[in-house]
């Protein structure tokens, strides 16, 4: 029963996440950024509450003001208030990284031509990476939506294959551990 529950929970989470990412990719990006914002907000609030809620005792040194807590709180609020901005910044960063990677690979292939012939087909993938980076810079929302749709479809495929595996294999797992004769021999060797 324990294995069934964990498998079914994984299947359900992957299915829900996949459906959300495929049906609402733009909203999913905002919610992911908001979730990260909440993850920054909570430690900041806890740090400030701990600082201001602490009872001072005589002779005890004053604790240090939680500047990290303030920073975490403000950054979390900023992420929550402006999720689209940060999602676009992330896509610009991804585009820049892809452009640099594509240019670096093309340059490496060009240098390799000095000592050996490099077929033109080797330039195909770096060129596609470079084009993807340029598209990400000029259309960050479209790239973001496409990336989330791909991740969502992958999550759906994972959930379906996990469900098939559960029906075919995990449900048929024996309830008691299977003991082989070889195990008894190995146990006897360990005891001696």
Instruction: Print burial letters for 152-163: b (CB count within 10 Å at least 16), e (below 16).
Output: beebbebbeebb
Could you tell me if 86 and 30 are in contact, meaning their C-beta atoms sit under 8 angstroms apart?
Answer: no
Q: With respect to residue 113, please indicate whether it lies within any of the assigned structural domains.
A: yes
Q: With respect to residue 165, please indicate whether it lies within any of the assigned structural domains.
A: yes
Q: What is the pTM of this model?
A: 0.59
Which tens digit of pLDDT belongs to each residue from 95-112? 888 889 889 988 888 888
Which residues lie closer than 8 Å to 105 by C-beta, 6 or more apart?
A: 125, 126, 129
Q: With respect to residue 140, please indicate whether it lies within any of the assigned structural domains.
A: yes
Total number of domains in the chain: 1
Q: With respect to residue 183, please indicate whether it lies within any of the assigned structural domains.
A: no
Q: With respect to residue 58, please indicate whether it lies within any of the assigned structural domains.
A: yes
* Structural domain range at position 103: 2-175
Which tens digit of pLDDT belongs to each residue from 42-52? 999 998 888 88
Q: With respect to residue 190, please indicate whether it lies within any of the assigned structural domains.
A: no
CA–CA distance from 22 to each of 54, 100, 119, 140, 146 (Å)? 47, 29, 38, 17, 9
């Amino acid at each position: 029963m324990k294995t069934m529950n964990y498998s079914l929970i994984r299947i359900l989470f992957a299915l829900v996440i996949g459906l959300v990412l495929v049906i609402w990719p733009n909203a999913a990006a905002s919610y992911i950024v908001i979730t990260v914002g909440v993850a920054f907000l909570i430690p900041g609030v806890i740090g400030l509450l701990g600082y201001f809620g602490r009872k001072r005792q005589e002779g005890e040194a004053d604790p240090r003001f939680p500047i990290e807590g303030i920073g975490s709180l403000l950054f979390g609020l900023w992420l929550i208030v402006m999720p689209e901005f940060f999602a676009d910044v992330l896509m610009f960063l991804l585009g820049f990284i892809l452009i640099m990677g594509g240019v670096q690979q093309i340059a490496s292939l060009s240098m390799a031509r000095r000592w050996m012939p490099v077929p033109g087909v080797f330039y195909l993938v770096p060129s596609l990476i470079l084009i993807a980076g340029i598209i990400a810079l000029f259309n960050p929302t479209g790239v973001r939506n496409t990336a989330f749709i791909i991740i969502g479809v992958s999550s759906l495929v994972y959930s379906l294959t996990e469900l098939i595996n559960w029906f075919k294999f995990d449900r048929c797992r024996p309830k008691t551990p299977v003991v082989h004769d070889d195990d008894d021999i190995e146990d006897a060797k360990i005891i001696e």
